[in-house]
Amino acid sequence: SSSRKKCGRKKILNDRDHLNVWTSLPAPMFSRNDFSIWSILRKCIGMELSKITMPVIFNEPLSFLQRLTEYMEHTKRMHVFSIQCVAAFAVSAVASQWERTGKPFNPLLGETYELVRDDLGFRLISEQVSHHPPISAFHAEGLQKDFVFHGSIYPKLKFWGKSVEAEPKGIITLELPKHNEAYTWTNPTCCVHNIIVGQLWIEQYGSVEVINHRTGEKCCLSFKPCGLFGKELHKVEGYILDKSKKKVYNLYGKWTECMYIVDPATFETHRKNDKKASEDKKSSKQSSDSEETPQLGGDSLEVIPGSQLLWRIAPRPVNSAQMYNFTTFAVQLNELDKEIEAVIPKTDSRLRPDIQAMENGDIDLASEEKKRLEEKQRAARKNRSKSDDEWKMRWFHQGPNPHNGSQDWLFSNGYWDRDYSQLPDIY
Ligand SMILES: *[C@@H]1O[C@H](CO)[C@@H](O)[C@H](O)[C@H]1NC(C)=O
Ligand SMILES: *[C@@H]1O[C@H](CO)[C@@H](O)[C@H](O)[C@H]1NC(C)=O
Ligand SMILES: *[C@@H]1O[C@H](CO)[C@@H](O)[C@H](O)[C@H]1NC(C)=O
């Protein structure tokens, strides 16, 4: 870890919160151009991707535990308690995936990741609680005791010839103790297209239902598949129902840009006029032929007069393209200064040698270390199966979700006491 400190990361003073933040990674990303992923994947169509060993070059230097932490980027939303803001937060949580085609490292069993952000007012701990199937659990809390945000994610990856689909099973829960409110939802399905040839691009689709368990309000969101002409690319639409199932709001936007809210009458009127206009256009001009790759920008979003902005994405750093298309928030996730190093347990993702090597631009070492860690994990499992030792999750336990009742992983407390004796040696 001592070499990391010499990596020449630029520190700047952020005058808003007077914190030092990293603005770039120690090394630019490696080009993937010379690599044929097809030779690796042709035998694996329809298989679950977690069972296929992928070369490290297709990764980004973050563990999936760290990628999960990116839900917290727009955490300021969570201090406002209305279902529309929670819905916007659920959309914003997937925005960091835009153009992020690098695969995060699979967390090792027992790996942990913590993030304390005084400036954003939260602390978070996550742990890899199961290896087969891979399950990551996380628990975040507001430093003002204003919210608790937790969940467990089981990203089921499927390879479909030209694309990889990730279905993020698991429940996400937001609790606002002061208001006695709790919301639950799941994430949409994420798909990376053109992994063999052509331009890689990411699509999110499927429905997301945000439920307010106290009031019975519900927000139904639909992440649109991009369709043949790419018109619907990145679009999200939905509505909010009150307890009596009456529609009280419409929501619309793009998960890569922004979300708006508007009253249903205005929305319907606009929709009708819009439809009429596009029919007029169609009759005067034949539509173009279909194409394999949609226009990656999609149609621009038309803001309906009378709408209110709920959320807008922050710009990426200027050098993002050389940094795996990371956001400013993501760039800082591997930050390891003396203060952090002194308190984190030895299982923290920041200390993973393969991720460190990749971040420093040493692909060969990253590849070697990744193999070594995976073998070490296999050996440890074999050892356990020989003895009666069962794997014990350290910071989470299995149990029913308190609001929804289905299987979940819940925080067992203790982590922030910082007694890290008897942790497994996983690196
Ligand atoms: C970053 O985004 C560009 C498109 O803007 C894309 O061509 C490139 O493949 C992306 N890089 C990664 C690592 O996803
Ligand atoms: C497996 O068990 C042996 C004997 O108890 C021990 O020496 C070795 O370090 C263990 N290996 C792992 C990877 O836990
Ligand atoms: C709990 O939430 C999950 C995910 O949203 C959903 O699939 C499941 O049906 C819910 N269970 C109950 C009992 O509401």
Tell me, what CATH number does 15's domain have?
2.40.160.120
Domain containing 235 equals 5-283+294-417
- Say if 425 falls within a structural domain: no
Sign of CA dihedral 404, 407, 410, 412: positive
Q: How far is ligand 3, taken at its centre, from the CA of residue 416, in Å?
A: 30
Backbone angles phi, psi at 232, to 5 degrees: -95, 5
List strand residue ranges (DSSP E) for 162-217, in order.
Answer: 164-169, 172-176, 181-185, 189-193, 201-212
Asked if residue 379 has its Cβ within 6 Å of ligand 2, the reply is: yes
Closest Cα to residue 171, out of 181, 157, 191, 185? 185
> Whole-prediction pTM value?
0.86
**Smallest CA separation from ligand 2 atom 6, residue:** 383
Amino acid 345: pLDDT: 97
Which helix (H) or strand (E) segment holds residue 134: the answer is none
pLDDT along the chain (427 residues), means of 10: 38 40 78 61 62 77 95 78 89 88 91 95 96 93 93 84 83 92 90 75 87 95 81 89 96 94 95 78 51 55 92 91 93 92 96 96 92 94 85 91 94 94 91
Contacts of 114 (CB under 8 A, 6+ apart): 123, 124, 125, 126, 344, 348, 415
Q: How far is ligand 1, taken at its centre, from the CA of residue 104, in Å?
A: 15
Whether omega before 424 lies within 30 degrees of 0, making that bond cis, reads: no
- Say if 10 falls within a structural domain: yes
Closest ligand 3 atom to 184 CA: 5
SS3 content of the chain, % helix, strand, coil (to 5): 30, 30, 45
Closest Cα to residue 187, out of 80, 60, 87? 87
The residue behind tokens 């050892």 is 383
Amino acid 340: pLDDT: 93
Q: Which ligand is nearest to the CA of 426?
A: 2
- Say if 378 falls within a structural domain: yes
- Ligand 3 pocket test, pick from 153, 406, 409 with the greatest ligand atom count within 8 Å of Cβ, gives 406
**Smallest CA separation from ligand 3 atom 12, residue:** 404
Q: Can you tell me whether residue 381 is helix, strand or coil?
A: helix
**Smallest CA separation from ligand 1 atom 14, residue:** 101
Amino acid 4: pLDDT: 40
- Ligand 3 pocket test, pick from 184, 186, 404 with the greatest ligand atom count within 8 Å of Cβ, gives 404
**Smallest CA separation from ligand 2 atom 9, residue:** 380
- Say if 371 falls within a structural domain: yes
Amino acid 16: pLDDT: 36
- Say if 426 falls within a structural domain: no
**Smallest CA separation from ligand 3 atom 8, residue:** 406
* DSSP code, position 45: T
**C-beta contacts of 203-208 below 8 A and 24+ residues apart:** 203/233, 204/94, 204/97, 204/234, 204/255, 208/90, 208/238
Number of domains in the chain: 1
